[in-house]
Amino acid sequence: MRYEHQDPDSVLSARSASPRLIPPRALLLDIGNVVIRWSQSRLLGNLAAATGRMPEDVERAFLGSPLDGLFHKGRYSAAEFLSLLNAAFGTSVPADAFAAAWNDVFDPYPEAEALVRELAPQIPLVAVTNTNALHYEHLRRAFPILGAFRAVVASHEVGSRKPEPGIFRAALDAAGCRPAEALFVDDLEGNVAGAADVGIPGIVFRGVPGLREDLAARGVPVAA
């Protein structure tokens, strides 16, 4: 048997070396409460005021039925949705009043917008959002930050909503990468779990400072 001398410092260096960190090739970001603030309670209050019903009645009849989900999958036009909503409440809310109540639920998120603008020149950004035709048109008009994304994958356009696999596959197509090469960020754990089911690693969003730390830990160059 032949023994060769090894320098102890070389051995220690080899043992302490960590695998090379490979950053994601694309970031898939939720919009609501990740890039732009939105409030479900405000939506319920607005609809209650428009229909003359109590917020809890609106929640039970609206969110407790398939109506909202189908609208977010593009199964109904805005006019069809309004007709069904009026039928559910026995009301006749005019289209313009309904649109105003429906869309007045968003606010800017300056810290998140700053992060998106910082990231956009460095890594492809794809927005992945559960939305509908009315909200999407309003967001495009009122929030220019969406122009920083390479693509926006909207549930009502692809016929699938988070956490279903279809919307994540559409997002990967838009990003041009494989599941393991992407990183998904959403404020809802169930949606992050849905992404994981198709092989996309994810981060549950808990605020911009925490997201900056999480991205830096994964090799994405961001300011502290």
The CATH class for the domain spanning 26-37+108-215 reads alpha beta
Q: Each residue of 117-145: pLDDT tens digit?
A: 999 999 999 999 999 999 999 999 999 99
Q: Each residue of 168-182: pLDDT tens digit?
A: 999 999 999 999 999
Confidence (pLDDT) at 140 = 97
Residues whose CB is less than 8 angstroms from the CB of residue 52 and which lie 6 or more positions away in sequence, other chains included:
89, 91
Domain ranges of the chain: 26-37+108-215, 40-103
Same CATH topology for 26-37+108-215 and 40-103? no
Confidence (pLDDT) at 10 = 44
Confidence (pLDDT) at 1 = 38
CATH of domain 40-103: 1.10.150
> Other C-beta atoms within 10 Å of 148: how many?
16
DSSP 76: S
Confidence (pLDDT) at 4 = 43
Residues whose CB is less than 8 angstroms from the CB of residue 7 and which lie 6 or more positions away in sequence, other chains included:
none
Confidence (pLDDT) at 19 = 59
- Stretches in the chain below the pLDDT threshold 50: 1-18
